[in-house]
Structure 1
Amino acid sequence: MSNGDAAAELPKSRLIAITLDEKSTATTNSNIEHEREVAIFDILEGNSFALEGRDEGPYKLNLALIEDRLVFNVTNEADAAVITHMLSLTPLKRIMKDYFMICESYYEAIRSAPPSRIQAIDMGRRGLHDEGSRTLLERLSGKITVDLDTARRLFTLICALHWKG
């Protein structure tokens, strides 16, 4: 099989690049920077990303925060603009606030707390992360279709964009 055949077999409904708007990213600590890098890597390793009513993928995504709105700027492989979706952050704000608080507790706990305490905090953190991912799926409904794993990683990136800590 030639390289051209392999490329033809890859699904078009996927992301091949993700960038975060530099004006949107706050100065962060090493934990948040690591979360960003891992989320981007994991998304690019395997994802499902389809635009409702369009078939111009694979896609490149730039995420930004503009005036309390989450902006999905989507381009095609050749960097031609495909679509921009803006979503209010309001439905995610409470979840993100709680998620940030529990992440702080988690990062503090891993320095000195017993394993049982770390595990309990991590279970709470995962629960909030799942809730945020489901809310994101609902908010994207009718615009962008992603699988749960992609939604989870996108939620991580949104939190990393919004992080002010």
Structure 2
Amino acid sequence: MTAKGKLVAVELDDSIGRGSPDVEHERAVAIFDLVEDNVFQPAGDERGLYRLKLSLAERRLVFDIAGEDAAPVAVHILSLTPFRRVIRDYFLICDSYYEAIRSSTPSQIEAIDMGRRGIHNDGSDLLRERLAGKIELDMDTSRRLFTLICVLHRRN
């Protein structure tokens, strides 16, 4: 991968509201992990350090990218239509996972978690495909961004 860029700050649109404690915890962990370790390089820009604000507008996902100094870099708007199935499946399996943590055996929890990770990878791959030519990401960055997209979607 040739990307040199890195996210130094990530913000979610708070106008949507807050999610459940489980969802908010997942958001906080994803943002922390994302800022700690990521590859994020907008096409055609060589600044290196970026701020990202994620929001939803009219059923579209908005990536509002700025430089470290808050100077605008790019805005990319993606339709959520291609993500609908994988987000729905991810929510269903996450609900099962959170319930299993409270009442299931370790082997049942592990089986559900494996399915959850598989669906999460599908969403991450789709995100990388949709951002191809716009933003270069590695797999870990894409996974964390997909988590944040799900948090935004669940809040909405």
- TM-score above 0.5: yes
For 1:17, the aligned partner's letter is: A
Match in the other structure for 2:123? 132
Give the counterpart of 2:141 among 140, 145, 150. 150
Aligned position for 1:20: 12
Q: What letter corresponds to residue 159 of structure 1 in structure 2?
A: C
Mapped to 2, the partners of 1:157 and 1:57 lie a distance apart of: 22
Unaligned runs of at least 5 residues, structure 1: 1-10
Q: 2: CA distance between counterparts of 1:57 and 1:79?
A: 13
User: Which digits, 9 at most, give the CA deviation of each residue in 1:65-97, with x for residues without a partner?
Assistant: 001100000011111111100000111110000
Aligned equivalent of 1:38: 29
Contact 2:65 2:75 in 1 (8 A): yes
1:46-57 aligned within 5 A: 46-57=37-48
Q: Structure 1: how far apart are the matches of 2:127 and 2:138?
A: 11
Instruction: Indicate which of 102, 107, 111 corresponds to 1:120.
Output: 111
Hey, what does 1:3 align to over in structure 2? none
Give the % identical residues.
55
Instruction: Give the SS at the match of 1:159.
Output: helix
Q: 1:79 aligns with which of 70, 78, 81?
A: 70
CA distance in 2, matches of 1:89, 1:79: 26
Deviation at 1:12, TM superposition (A): 5.1
CA distance in 2, matches of 1:164, 1:149: 23
Q: Quick one: which of 135, 150, 156 aligns to 1:159?
A: 150
TM-score, structure 2 normalization? 0.95
Whether 1:108 aligns to 2:99 is yes
Amino acid in structure 1 at the alignment position of 2:110: Q
Secondary structure (helix, strand or coil) at the match of 1:123 reads helix
Q: What is the CA-CA distance between 1:27 and the residue it aligns to? A: 3.0
CA distance in structure 2 between the aligned counterparts of 1:27 and 1:73, rounded to whole angstroms? 20
Structure 2 gaps of 5+ residues are: none
Letter in 2 for 1:19: E
Per the alignment, do residues 14 and 102 of structure 1 end up closer, same or farther by CA in structure 2, a change over 3 Å counting? Answer: same
Deviations along 1:19-58, one digit per CA (max 9) or x if unpaired, are 001123x431111000000000001111000011111230
Measured after TM superposition, the shift of residue 60 of structure 1 is 0.2
Residue 120 of structure 1, CA deviation: 0.7
- Asked if 1 retains the 8 angstrom alpha-carbon contact of 2:18 and 2:24, the reply is no
